[in-house]
Structure formats: structure tokens, C-alpha cells
Amino acid sequence: MEHNKSVIRKLTQQRNNLEKQVLSLAKFNYAREPEFVRDRLRLRELVEEVSQLVKHTHELARKLKPLQKCLKKQTEETRQLEEKSEAMAQDFLQGNMRLDEFTSKYVDLRKETVRKRLIVDGLTGYMTLAKKYNSAHATTVDPNNPNNTCPIMCG
């Protein structure tokens, strides 16, 4: 019987210790509740901010698509002009063109090539900056344009 009382005393003491521990943890958690609430609100804000950044990135990609098409077109036209001026120089060197005719046509062709190259360089730089700064306002392409083309010589 004495043994039973001893066991009951130990169990009672363990229960009391556990109650104290639970009460201590509850007080600790209750004291930190404002931090938890603040952190949950901050987490919600961060999740919303990430969501907005994802939308913003998708919108930027959508707006840059016409510029990419324009860049591709301008790059191809520049390449073709380079080939044409090279062929013209070969014709001249082979004696198929007079000097005055070659000079006139070649200068005009090179001017057009340089103009196209400047457009390509400008578009490339513009797109790089727009992507770098991830700005939805960086592009001047009208998203409502049914042709979805770049306003710079890409009609």
C-alpha cells in the first residue's frame, strides 16, 4: 500500500511538472503572439509582392515579344544588305561595274546598312535595359496594336 502511495505521489509530481512546463510554453507562445501575427502579415505581403513581380515579369515579356520580332527582322535585313554590298564590291573588282556607278550605289547601300545596324544596336540595348530593370513602362510598343509590330521601321 505504501508502494502505491509512492507511485501516486511520483505520478502526481510528474503531472504537476508537466502542467508547469505546458503553462510555461503557453506563456512563452502567448508573449510571442504579436510577433507571430506580424510575421504572418509580413509573409502575406511578401507573397503578394512576389505574385505582383511574377505578373509584372509576364507582362514585360509580352511587351518585349514584338520588339524581339522587330529585332529579328532588322538583323536579317542588315545581313542581306551586307551580302548585297559584298556582292557589289566583287562585281566592281571583276570589272562588271564602272567606278562612278559602283561608288554611287555602294555608298547608298552602306548608308542603309549602317542605318539598319544602328536600329539593331538600339533595339538590342533597349531590350537589355528593359529586361535588366524589369520595368513594365520600359517598352513603347502599344499592346493594343493589332499588327503587334515595333514602331521603329518594322511595319
> Looking at the predicted structure, is the pLDDT value of residue 144 above 70?
no
> Looking at the predicted structure, is the pLDDT value of residue 32 above 50?
yes
55, with CB counted inside 10 A (0-12, 13-18, 19+), is exposed
Other C-beta atoms within 10 Å of 77: how many? Answer: 17
What is the pTM for the complete model shown?
0.51
Instruction: Check: CB of residue 131 under 8 Å from CB of residue 60.
Output: yes
Instruction: Look at the alpha carbons of 84, 90, 95, 98 in this order and tell me if their dihedral is positive or negative.
Output: positive
Band of residue 65 on the pLDDT scale cut at 50, 70, 90? confident
CA 16 to centroid of chain Cα atoms? 59
pLDDT of residue 142: 47
pLDDT of residue 154: 55
The whole-number average pLDDT for the span 106-132 is 89
Instruction: Check: CB of residue 151 under 8 Å from CB of residue 69.
Output: no
pLDDT digits (tens, 9 = 90+) for 67-95: 888 899 999 999 999 999 999 999 999 99
pLDDT of residue 147: 47
- List of long-range contacts for 35-40, beta carbons under 8 Å, 24+ apart: none
